[in-house]
């Protein structure tokens, strides 16, 4: 991959490369000529975590082999990404002309000029609710991620001055939010931890709670000058290898309850996106229909060049290698680009590429009211 992506094993080389290319990159970001994205600020869970959990004492980590085996900037070494290569956030940033991958906020290198290209706040196990993911001991909830962006926002003021900083955040930055799956998988549907909540809250009440919290969180980002948003809904979580394995389903079956809950949440999320577009002046909220996009991949996987959408490439246990997360002792498939799922929970890079390209191109079935290239070029 092009050397401008500075995620390299040797931090000194990374910093040197960054300094050399910085002047030209800022010029490109500042002029926005040729469709260059100024910055990408990424919030969410393990689907887009680029290494924040490496710096947390947590049970949810992906900094072990063979994770990252196809991530070229690191030479195939694990970076903390929960897939074999790039995340959707990485691919979208590249395609939009971002100069560097968004650096994880907790990485010691996430200081100075590098934050002007974007920062990744996502955390494996994180959710909309602060209680979500407590089984992992530590993770960054959406509230904490926004607290961290508040720190970044003040740093941007110091780097650029208040006026240019505001323009950078409002006009040249995209805020990407991929969250919600853990609120079901590692909260509401997790009997050990959430039995109390499930007794006291109906699915409707829990979904309403999620939407209420997310509304406040997105409004808070708006108050910190975020204007261009893409909000992903929850995918078909009943179809992941983990769910298929523990429920002993056939290859074409998905678990009904998690998918039903996801659809319930997704319907209200779509309404929330419309509401925010109406009520927050100058902001554009793009809705990403990840559920239908991933379900299409799972249902018609052969059409997209995959040979399986049920079995994890890296994992152990059961029919679909779906019980034990990916690690050094896992069985590993040889044809990684032929699997929709990398591990029991997360898509492969090959699947992420297809998902990202649909979001970029603007197919109205999957992304509305516009695709990400149009959002980037929107002159607010």
Which DSSP category does 188 fall into?
Answer: I
Q: What angle do CA 119, 123, 15 make, to 5 degrees?
A: 35
The encoded tokens of residue 212 equal 């209420």
> Whole-angstrom Cα distance, residue 374 to residue 380?
12
Q: What are phi and psi of 162, to 5 degrees?
A: -55, -45
> Is 97:103 a contact under the CB 8 Å cutoff?
no
Q: What are phi and psi of 302, to 5 degrees?
A: -65, -30
Query: How far, rounded to the nearest angstrom, does the alpha carbon of residue 235 sit from its chain's CA centroid?
Result: 12
Contacts of 158 (CB under 8 A, 6+ apart): none
Cis link prior to 66 (omega < 30° from 0)? yes
* 8 A C-beta contact, residue 166 and residue 153: no
Contact 43, 32 (CB under 8 A): no
| Residue 96 contacts residue 37 (beta carbons within 8 Å) | yes
Q: Please name which of 360, 344, 257, 346 lies closest in space to residue 294, comparing C-alpha atoms.
A: 346
DSSP, collapsed to helix, strand or coil, labels residue 272 as: helix
Backbone angles phi, psi at 298, to 5 degrees: -70, -40
Cα(94)–Cα(236) distance, integer angstroms: 26
Which structure tokens are listed for 117? 């290209």
Q: Which residues are part of the catalytic machinery? A: 46, 343, 346
């Amino acid at each position: 991959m092009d050397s401008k992506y500075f995620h390299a094993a040797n931090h000194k080389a990374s910093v040197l490369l960054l300094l050399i290319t910085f002047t030209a990159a800022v010029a490109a970001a500042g002029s926005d000529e040729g469709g260059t994205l100024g910055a990408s600020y990424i919030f969410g869970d393990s689907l887009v975590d680029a290494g924040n959990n490496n710096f947390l004492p947590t049970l949810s980590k992906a900094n072990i082999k063979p994770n990252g085996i196809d991530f070229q900037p690191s030479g195939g070494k694990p970076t903390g990404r929960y897939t074999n290569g790039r995340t959707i956030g990485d691919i979208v940033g590249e395609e939009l002309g971002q100069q560097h991958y968004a650096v994880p906020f907790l990485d010691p290198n996430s200081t100075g000029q590098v934050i002007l290209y974007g920062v990744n706040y996502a955390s494996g196990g994180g959710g909309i609710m602060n209680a979500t993911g407590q089984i992992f001991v530590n993770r960054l909830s959406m509230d904490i991620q926004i607290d961290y962006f508040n720190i970044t926002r003040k740093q941007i003021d110091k780097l650029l001055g208040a006026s240019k900083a505001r323009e950078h955040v409002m006009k040249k930055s995209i805020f990407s939010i991929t969250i919600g799956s853990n609120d079901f998988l590692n909260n509401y549907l997790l009997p050990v931890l959430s039995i109390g909540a499930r007794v006291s809250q109906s699915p409707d009440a829990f979904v309403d709670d999620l939407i209420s919290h997310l509304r406040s969180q997105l409004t808070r980002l708006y108050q910190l000058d975020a204007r261009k948003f893409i909000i992903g809904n929850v995918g078909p979580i009943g179809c992941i290898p983990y769910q298929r394995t523990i429920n002993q389903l056939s290859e074409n079956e998905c678990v009904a309850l998690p998918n039903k809950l996801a659809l319930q949440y997704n319907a209200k999320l779509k309404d929330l996106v419309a509401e925010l577009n109406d009520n927050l002046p100058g902001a554009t909220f793009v809705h990403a229909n990840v559920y239908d996009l991933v379900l299409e991949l799972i249902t018609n996987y052969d059409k997209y060049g995959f040979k399986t959408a049920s079995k994890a490439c890296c994992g152990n246990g059961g029919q679909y290698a779906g019980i034990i997360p990916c690690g050094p002792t896992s069985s590993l498939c040889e044809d990684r680009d032929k699997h929709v799922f990398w591990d029991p929970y997360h898509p492969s890079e090959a699947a992420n590429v297809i998902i990202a390209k649909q979001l970029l191109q603007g197919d109205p079935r999957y992304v509305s009211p516009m695709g990400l290239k149009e959002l980037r070029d929107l002159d607010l």
